[in-house]
């Protein structure tokens, strides 16, 4: 069954932060769950859009496990690229739930929600994150440049862009 994609609720945010912290990039950059969750909540309070993929929208929140079946999330800044084009700030899928189309569904939602803004979709991906680069290329994104040491010394962030047709 394809995942259900919908707006994240405040109750989802802490679990989304956990998914990101447990991912390869979270570990490499030393994301801290409470701090990330706080940034996500602040984002939601301003112009950010955070969407979640759910296994089952009808599932009750049983606490301790994923709230209402959260599988992953996408954090979207609708004009995050120089104030004029959509920027995918962060996307992550629970390690155990990957390769089932959840990431693709979240990426499609990023594009759907921001279709009317700018001429391109943008994102940045760390140079070591070859799996994510392959994932984005599969979905039509091209490397447009690299910014050495953008977030951390010794790591370049690759700017990837997909042109709207
Ligand atoms: C990138 C990510 C969101 C993809 O989510 P997903 O649910 O696995 O994506 P899908 O199932 O829709 O697509 C998977 C496909 O993408 C490509 N892909 C994803 N990860 C890959 C990897 N590590 N190596 C090679 N290809 C990869 C493959 O084509 C893969 O298909 P396959 O599983 O049949 O080989 C997920 O791997 C993730 O959360 N990674 C950790 C966080 C992260 O790095 N986010 C990107 C930050 S810029």
Mean pLDDT of 33-60: 89
Q: What is the DSSP letter of 110?
A: H
Q: Which of 126, 132, 152 to mutate to test the pocket of ligand 1 (most atoms within 8 A of CB)?
A: 132
Q: Which of 135, 137, 143, 157 to mutate to test the pocket of ligand 1 (most atoms within 8 A of CB)?
A: 135
Distance 135 CA to ligand 1 centre (A): 5
Q: Tell me the Cα Rg of the chain.
A: 15
Q: What is the pLDDT of residue 63?
A: 53
Tens-digit pLDDT profile for residues 12-33: 999 999 999 999 999 999 999 9
Task: Encode burial over 39-75: b for 16+ CB neighbours within 10 A, e otherwise.
Answer: bbbebbeeebbbbbbbbeeeeeeeeeebbbbbbbbbb
The answer to whether the CB of 160 falls within 8 A of the CB of 133 is: yes
Distance 90 CA to ligand 1 centre (A): 13
- The confidence band for 67, taking pLDDT boundaries of 50, 70 and 90, is confident
Angle at 23 between CA 110 and CA 26, to 5 degrees: 95
Q: In this structure, which residue's CA is closest to atom 28 in ligand 1? A: 135
User: Locate tokens 């996500």: which residue?
Assistant: 40
Evaluate: CB of 74 within 6 angstroms of ligand 1. no
Tens-digit pLDDT profile for residues 94-131: 999 999 999 999 999 999 999 999 999 999 999 999 99
Distance 39 CA to ligand 1 centre (A): 24
Q: Give the relative orientation of helices 33-45 and 10-22 as an angle to the nearest 10 degrees.
A: 140
- What count of other Cβ atoms lies within 10 Å of the Cβ of residue 146? 13
Evaluate: CB of 41 within 6 angstroms of ligand 1. no
C-alpha distance from residue 153 to each of 67, 97, 121, 129, 149 (Å): 36, 31, 26, 16, 4
């Amino acid at each position: 069954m394809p995942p259900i994609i919908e707006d994240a609720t405040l109750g989802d945010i802490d679990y989304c932060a956990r998914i990101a912290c447990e991912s390869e990039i979270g570990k490499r950059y030393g994301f801290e769950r409470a701090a990330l969750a706080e940034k996500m909540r602040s984002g939601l309070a301003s112009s950010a859009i955070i969407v979640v993929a759910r296994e089952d929208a009808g599932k009750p929140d049983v606490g301790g496990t994923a709230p209402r079946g959260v599988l992953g999330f996408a954090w979207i800044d609708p004009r995050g690229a120089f104030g004029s084009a959509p920027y995918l700030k962060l996307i992550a899928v629970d390690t155990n739930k990957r390769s089932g189309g959840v990431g693709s569904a979240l990426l499609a939602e990023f594009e759907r929600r921001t279709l009317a803004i700018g001429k391109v979709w943008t994102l940045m991906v760390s140079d070591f994150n070859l799996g994510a680069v392959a994932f984005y290329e599969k979905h039509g994104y091209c490397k447009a440049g690299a910014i050495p040491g953008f977030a951390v010394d010794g790591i370049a962030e690759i700017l990837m862009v997909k042109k709207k047709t």
